[in-house]
């Protein structure tokens, strides 16, 4: 036990040294983080809080570009939704041959597994840079980037759900003369559909955040606007956009949780 703890501590110290995470550097930088957060806080004044957008110190003055930002938030959510659907559809197709217990052959299993690994290994922002270069600045690059990464990430989760399925129904379909595709559709898919739906909705929540980040490289959405205001040091606009992103993600989280529980309950009741 002591030896393991000593080895772990040595590894942590070595990692900190290699990554230049020196305590003195961290201590010197902490006040600057607080200073930056102090700068982006809005200058709200109690007596003018509910005044119009022309009055400094009001909420309306702070969120003076709310209509424009709302449209960008909507674009970001649309990007995330479409990318999640496209990526999850591809993940579902690859998940069946990637599941060890029902893979049609060892070759198909390894090809599917390695493909999923390759897709999720590359970060979304790298995909976005490639697609921005290929298709130009705009939401299309962001949708394709998030969809590819979602395919790899959800494909692994879907395959693991399939590997935990009961194969008695599979044997029944095969004994009745059904093909491998028939067995996947009628024996396995109904069992794992609640898990698949849960993972899909969870991925949608994650992709909202990803769509906000990849806009930094010109892939559309609110991220592009956030990058601009950060670049020009429009401090109060930074806090306004960050607040809108937080509220959007929170709303999506709550909605997805309700949909997930409702859909899973209906599927299990139907079974």
To the nearest whole number, what is the mean pLDDT of the chain? Answer: 86
Residues 6 or more apart from 127 whose CB is under 8 A from it?
144, 145, 146, 148, 149
Closest CA to 242 of 219, 259, 264, 222: 222
Closest CA to 78 of 197, 217, 222, 216: 222
CATH architecture of 63-270: Orthogonal Bundle (1.10)
Separation CA 249–CA 242 (nearest Å) = 11
Q: Could you tell me where the DSSP H helices lie in 65-123?
A: 66-98, 106-121
Separation CA 40–CA 53 (nearest Å) = 19
| Span 115-134, pLDDT tens digits | 999 999 998 989 999 998 98
Please give the pLDDT value at position 161: 93
Separation CA 243–CA 53 (nearest Å) = 18
- Number of residues written out for the chain: 271
Separation CA 40–CA 42 (nearest Å) = 6
| Domain ranges across the chain | 1-30, 63-270
pLDDT in tens, the chain (271 residues): 777 778 888 888 788 777 777 777 777 777 787 888 888 888 888 887 788 877 888 888 888 888 899 999 999 989 999 999 999 999 999 999 999 999 999 999 999 999 999 999 998 989 999 998 988 888 888 999 999 999 999 999 999 999 998 888 888 888 888 899 999 989 899 888 888 988 898 898 889 888 888 888 777 788 888 888 888 888 888 999 989 888 888 888 788 777 767 766 665 665 5
Integer CA distances (angstroms), 91 to 135, 152, 160, 169, 257, in order: 24, 7, 12, 23, 22
Cβ burial of 186 (10 Å; 0-12, 13-18, 19+) is middle
Report CA Rg, the chain. Answer: 24
Please give the pLDDT value at position 3: 77
């Amino acid at each position: 036990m002591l030896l393991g703890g000593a080895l772990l501590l040595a590894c942590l110290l070595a990692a900190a040294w290699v990554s230049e995470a020196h305590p003195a550097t961290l201590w010197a930088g902490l006040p600057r983080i607080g200073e930056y957060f102090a700068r982006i806080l809005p200058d709200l004044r109690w007596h003018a809080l509910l005044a119009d957008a022309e009055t400094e110190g009001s909420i309306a003055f702070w969120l003076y570009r709310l209509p424009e930002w709302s449209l960008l938030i909507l674009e970001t959510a649309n990007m995330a939704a479409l990318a999640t659907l496209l990526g999850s559809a591809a993940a579902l197709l690859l998940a069946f041959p990637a599941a060890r217990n029902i893979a049609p052959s060892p070759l198909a299993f390894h090809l599917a597994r390695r493909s999923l690994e390759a897709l999720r290994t590359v970060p979304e922002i790298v995909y976005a840079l490639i697609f921005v270069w290929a298709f130009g600045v705009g939401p299309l690059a962001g949708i394709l980037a998030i969809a590819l990464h979602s395919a790899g990430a959800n494909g692994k989760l879907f395959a693991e759900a399939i590997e935990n399925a009961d194969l008695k129904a599979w044997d029944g379909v095969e004994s009745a003369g059904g093909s491998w595709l028939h067995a996947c559709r009628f024996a396995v898919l109904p069992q794992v559909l609640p898990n698949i739906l849960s993972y899909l909705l969870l991925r949608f929540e994650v992709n909202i955040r990803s769509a906000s980040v990849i806009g930094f490289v010109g892939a559309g959405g609110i991220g592009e606007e956030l990058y601009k205001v950060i670049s020009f040091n429009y401090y109060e606009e930074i806090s306004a956009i960050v607040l809108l992103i937080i509220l959007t993600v929170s709303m999506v989280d709550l909605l997805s949780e309700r949909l997930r529980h409702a859909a899973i309950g209906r599927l299990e009741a139907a079974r």
